[in-house]
Amino acid sequence: MDPSSEGTKANQLIKKFVISLTTGRILGYVTDINVEVEGNRFFFILKMKLVENLGKGSGMFSSERKMRISPEDIVNVGPDVIILGDGKVPPLREIEKLIKIKEEYEELKEKIKERDILIKSLKSENQALRRRVEELEHEARKLEVMRDDFEHLKEQLVRQEGELEMAREYIKLLEGMRHDIDSIKESFEGFVTADLEKTVRSIIDEELNARGLKKTSFL
């Protein structure tokens, strides 16, 4: 505790009226002040002149009295008055602090409100994105099935193309065989015709010889 600092504070309280904020009364006019220390705490001993008949327009100073106050009792110190809260009203610094805290609270509450709106909007967007992702996953599964079907169809087409090529080769083979068969057929028909003609001529000649007739030649 710095005694010189407390002495400076004490000097600021001299030659001022003392007003009680809780009772609304003027308690006196400070003419002198002392500082009293008890342990880690200090108190102001105010020497005041009492004021009488102030409300009747004929105020005057009367007897003096001493008043012991703690720094916590002082709400504010102005140019002409000292306002006391008797420990029931916080000092002006505390009031200003509370006002600032309230302002910060209101600002924080507004930010929380804005954040809640943003969170709600983000949740809505997140739900929409989830639905879109589910739709895309469904489309991906369909494409996967289509891809498998395409690969299966491709295999079938390759196999059928191979079978078609084999069929073409088989048809070529059959066409070659048909040509050979036609040649064999023509040869066979020529052979059969010639042989049949020879056989018929032989039978006729034998029949003519048997009858003593001359042989007849075919045209």
At 16-33, the pLDDT tens digits run: 999 888 888 888 899 999
**96, 48, 88: which is closest to 72 by C-alpha?**
88
Q: In degrees, to the nearest 5, what angle opens at C-alpha 55 toward C-alphas 54 and 56?
A: 90
Which token pair is 107? 């600002």
Q: What is the pLDDT of residues 121-138, one digit of tens each?
A: 899 899 999 999 999 998
**Could you say which residues of the chain have pLDDT below 70?**
1-10, 53-61, 90-99, 102, 188-192, 213-219
Instruction: Compute CA distances 35 → 6, 13, 40, 58, 112, whole Å.
Output: 8, 11, 13, 33, 48
Q: pTM surpassing 0.85?
A: no
Domain range annotation of the chain:
3-89
Domain 3-89 belongs to what topology? SH3 type barrels. (2.30.30)
Rounded-to-integer distance, Cα 183 and Cα 125, Å: 84
Q: Hey, which residues does 37 pair with through a beta bridge?
A: 42
Rounded-to-integer distance, Cα 198 and Cα 204, Å: 10
The three-class DSSP label of residue 86 is coil
